[in-house]
Amino acid sequence: MKKNCLFKRVFSLLLCLALLLCAACPALAEEDGYEFDTTGVDYQKFRGQNVSINVYNWGLYIAEGEDDSMNVCKEFEKLTGIKVNYTNFATNEEMYAKLKSGASKYDVIFPSDYMVGKLIEEGMLAELNFKNIPNYDRYVDDNFKNLEYDPEGKYSVAYTWGTVGILYNTTMVEKEVDSWDILWDMDYAGQILMFNNSRDAFGIALKKLGYSMNTTDKDQLKEAADLLKEQKPMVQAYVMDEIFDKLGAGEAAIAPYYAGDYALIKADNPDIAFAFPKEGVNRFVDAACVPKDCNNQEAAELFINFLNDPAVAYENFETIGYSSPNTGAVELMDEEEKADPVLYPGDEVLGSAETFLNLDDETNEYM
């Protein structure tokens, strides 16, 4: 009798589960509407082999299914059967330290330009096999191949890019903003925000002086340091993401920041405008790379290929807000987004833009 009772219970529990699954299925089917470009690549290769890859990315730097966006990692798992372990870092240096400790194996990482250079120099990146990344030839903009940090284009695939310009509040700043000089303008003393990392701060000072951001000349660096010292009494605070709040609430008037975040700040405060300084700006690229010491390079390359599928790259662009180097994704954007002068500036800005390169230790220390 008792056994029978237990059986009934288990059976009804199973039925409940089955019902739940059925109820969940239509919801899943709805999300399944994505179509991916699978020509020239075998996404099924690792299915059923219990393969997993470790992806190490910036925080909030991929579409994760919020606001009806695609859940990129989930879609990749569904498509290939490869499990994605996804973790985040906050700075290039943090990522570098984790990698260098040798304790953890990562398969896909997303260092910025100068960090890609550093990792290549130290022999920590694997040469990519582009046979597994056909989307690279198909969709990645030629302007983002073979950049200075990876001159032969063997190690990295550009993921996002952007520029650093000046954000300012039009109700508080009456002068025309077209130069880094505004960050040294006495009239706005106490209302200026500045980057709290030395590389960005020095980059701006060097540009203002007309030098290269990648200079290793001690005298030029000294001049830039003096300029920053001179600026210090005018600066309200040295910050990073607090810029969102301070500019949004009108607590500060001027700040240098990433073009990709302009839309987000403008949503809070419509008085905020964006300007490209005429002396030239910093153009950054965050790229997908595979460390030499990884678990499964081929699976990692499949993931990078997947990221460059136009549908995926478009979803990532919508979530992150930074410019996409993927021509297929740009195709999918509406006219307004494509023509956005902040996200996709013309050659007059990009022509004079510079990308951070890896500097020698001595120069870094000097900063």
Strands 282-289 and 235-239: unpaired
Which CB, 19 or 267, lies closer to another protein?
Answer: 267
Which CB, 145 or 266, lies closer to another protein?
Answer: 266
Shortest distance, position 240 Cβ to another protein, whole Å: 7
Nearest to 323 by CA among 241, 274, 259: 259
Sign, CA dihedral 300-316-265-254, equals positive
Shortest distance, position 105 Cβ to another protein, whole Å: 7
Which residues inside 226-285 make contact with another protein, applying CB under 8 A?
A: 240-241, 244-246, 248-249, 251, 261, 264, 267-269
> 3-class DSSP state for residue 365?
helix
> Which of 43, 86, 130, 366 touches another protein (CB under 8 A)?
86
Q: Is residue 330 exposed (0-12), middle (13-18) or buried (19+ Cβ within 10 Å)?
A: buried
Note whether 214 binds another protein by CB under 8 A: no
Applying CB under 8 A, which part among 87-95, 132-140, 153-161, 214-222 lies near another protein? 87-95
- What's the angle, vertex CA 86, arms to CA 81 and CA 87, rounded to 5? 165
Q: For the chain, how many residues are written?
A: 367
* Dist CA 200 CA 356 (whole Å): 9
Shortest distance, position 165 Cβ to another protein, whole Å: 17
Binding mask 316-345 for another protein (x = CB under 8 A): ----x-------------------------
Note whether 188 binds another protein by CB under 8 A: no
Nearest to 168 by CA among 77, 248, 76, 288: 248
* Dist CA 99 CA 105 (whole Å): 8
Helical packing angle, 218-231 and 198-208, nearest 10°: 100
Which CB, 62 or 227, lies closer to another protein?
Answer: 62
- The DSSP letter of residue 322 is S
Note whether 171 binds another protein by CB under 8 A: no
Which CB, 62 or 205, lies closer to another protein?
Answer: 62
> Which of 56, 96, 211, 314 touches another protein (CB under 8 A)?
56
Note whether 103 binds another protein by CB under 8 A: yes
Q: Is residue 274 exposed (0-12), middle (13-18) or buried (19+ Cβ within 10 Å)?
A: buried
Applying CB under 8 A, which part among 10-18, 66-74, 149-157, 180-188 lies near another protein? 66-74
| Contact residues for another protein, defined by CB under 8 A | 54-56, 58-61, 64-67, 71, 74, 85-91, 101-106, 240-241, 244-246, 248-249, 251, 261, 264, 267-269, 320
